[in-house]
């Protein structure tokens, strides 16, 4: 059975089509768990009227993957399919993802291809890293990521899109599950750095078609803070980079990742994005709040970090984009 775990925040606009597409999946048995993150748009009453949906709650300020992790607590399937609420899926999507899982071959996760919500544009395929002078959006600044590489079915991909992918529950457990300190962005990199260190693979499944209203939640307001999802996401994303480095990298790599914070401020000042500079000033506080847990993880994960330093994940030859 596949446990579909949806992390939803004010997603009433999208939920009917999402649920319709999940109920229409062929050749698989599913259970649907929606983690409603205290929505205020009527999602609660709508979901309560769906007899085949199990609803659990999680505060919205904790973020996407805290919702995912909360959903796993009541999941019964041997496979977990994590997804956002602003999606819908072709009827064979889950069956094709499930068919790609092969524990004997160390394939523990499968990543479908993403299209825009109306299906007019392909936006995500396999992921490949490529050299760059300095990337502000990658924990290892010497590499950037191309998320839309058209590789054949079964090709290794370093990490799936956290917006929607399938993973075997035993692999998810072996990795320790999601790190709920990640509000949004890089949570998939964090999880699959652990997978890479432990020899687990994720493969690309081109014919598992996913439709996504990308960034639809950015304008929502977090009632507890009055902050938009977009602003909270930006601060968290900037903090995620050094947090990943603290968890997996050599100390020189940690220093490089920390250097991305002043580099971002300088870039925003030069570009006249002064609202972003204000957000940048909140980043050190987020790093300091999360650093003790990151360093505790670093200590526990030391045998893996010693054998497989996190920087090598981004320079792994099988994840390199071929010119």
Q: What is the pLDDT of residues 40-60, one digit of tens each?
A: 899 999 999 999 999 999 887
Q: Supply the pLDDT for residue 53.
A: 98
- pLDDT-derived band at 233 (thresholds 50, 70, 90) equals confident
Cβ–Cβ under 8 Å, residues 83 and 164: yes
Q: Supply the pLDDT for residue 219.
A: 57
Least confident of 62-71, 100-109, 242-251: 62-71
Q: What is the pLDDT of residues 154-177, one digit of tens each?
A: 999 999 999 999 999 999 999 999
Q: What percent of the chain has pLDDT over 70?
A: 95
Q: Tell me if residue 295 falls in helix, strand or coil.
A: helix
Cβ–Cβ under 8 Å, residues 67 and 35: yes
Q: What's the average model confidence in pLDDT over 93-107? A: 98
Residue 317 reports pLDDT greater than 90: yes
Q: What's the average model confidence in pLDDT over 86-91? A: 97
* Average pLDDT value over all residues in the chain: 93
Residue 70 reports pLDDT greater than 80: yes
Please report, for residues 56, 183, 206, the alpha-carbon distance to residue 290 in angstroms, rounded to integers and kept in the order given.
Answer: 26, 12, 36
Cβ–Cβ under 8 Å, residues 77 and 1: yes
Q: Supply the pLDDT for residue 19.
A: 98
For the chain, the 3-state helix, strand and coil shares in percent, each to the nearest 5, are 40, 25, 35
Q: Which domains does the chain have, with CATH numbers?
A: 2-212 (3.90.550.10), 221-319 (no CATH)
Q: What percent of the chain has pLDDT over 90?
A: 79
Which residues does 288 contact at the CB level (< 8 Å), separation at least 6? none
Least confident of 34-38, 123-127, 141-145, 212-216: 212-216
Residue 220 reports pLDDT greater than 90: no
Residue 218 reports pLDDT greater than 70: no
Q: Supply the pLDDT for residue 303.
A: 98
Geometric angle at alpha carbon 66, from 86 and 299, rounded to 5°: 140
Q: What's the average model confidence in pLDDT over 122-137? A: 95
Geometric angle at alpha carbon 52, from 51 and 57, rounded to 5°: 85
Q: pTM here?
A: 0.94
Residue 288 reports pLDDT greater than 80: yes
Give the position of tokens 């109920």: 23
Q: Supply the pLDDT for residue 119.
A: 94
DSSP state string for 158-209: SS--TTEEEEEHHHHHHTT---TT--SSSHHHHHHHHHHHTT-EEEEEEEEE
């Amino acid at each position: 059975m596949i446990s579909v775990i949806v992390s939803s925040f004010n997603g009433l606009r999208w939920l009917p089509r999402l649920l319709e597409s999940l109920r229409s999946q062929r050749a698989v048995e599913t259970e649907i768990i929606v983690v409603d993150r205290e929505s205020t748009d009527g999602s609660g009453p709508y979901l309560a009227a769906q007899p085949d949906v199990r609803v659990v709650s999680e505060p919205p300020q904790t973020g996407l993957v805290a919702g995912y992790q909360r959903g796993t607590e009541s999941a019964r399937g041997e496979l977990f399919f994590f997804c956002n609420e602003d999606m819908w899926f072709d009827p064979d999507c889950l069956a094709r993802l499930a068919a790609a899982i092969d524990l004997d071959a160390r394939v523990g996760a499968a990543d479908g291809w993403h299209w825009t919500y109306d299906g007019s544009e392909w936006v995500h395929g396999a992921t490949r890293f490529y050299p760059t002078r300095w990337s502000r959006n990658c924990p290892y600044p010497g590499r950037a990521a191309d998320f839309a590489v058209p590789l054949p079915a079964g090709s290794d991909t370093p990490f799936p899109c956290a917006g929607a992918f399938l993973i075997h529950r035993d692999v998810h457990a072996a990795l320790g599950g999601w790190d709920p300190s990640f509000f949004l962005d890089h949570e998939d990199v964090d999880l699959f750095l652990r997978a890479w260190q432990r020899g687990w693979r994720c493969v690309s499944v081109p014919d598992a078609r996913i439709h996504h209203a990308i960034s639809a939640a950015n304008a929502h307001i977090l009632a507890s803070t009055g902050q938009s999802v977009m602003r909270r996401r930006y601060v968290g994303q900037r903090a995620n980079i050094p947090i990943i480095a603290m968890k997996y990298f050599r100390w020189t790599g940690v220093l490089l990742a920390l250097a991305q914070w002043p580099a971002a401020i300088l870039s925003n000042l030069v570009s006249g994005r002064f609202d972003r500079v204000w957000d940048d000033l909140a980043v050190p506080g987020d790093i300091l709040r999360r650093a003790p847990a990151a360093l505790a993880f670093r200590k526990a994960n030391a045998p893996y970090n010693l054998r497989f330093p996190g920087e090598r994940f981004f320079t792994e030859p099988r994840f390199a984009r071929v010119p």
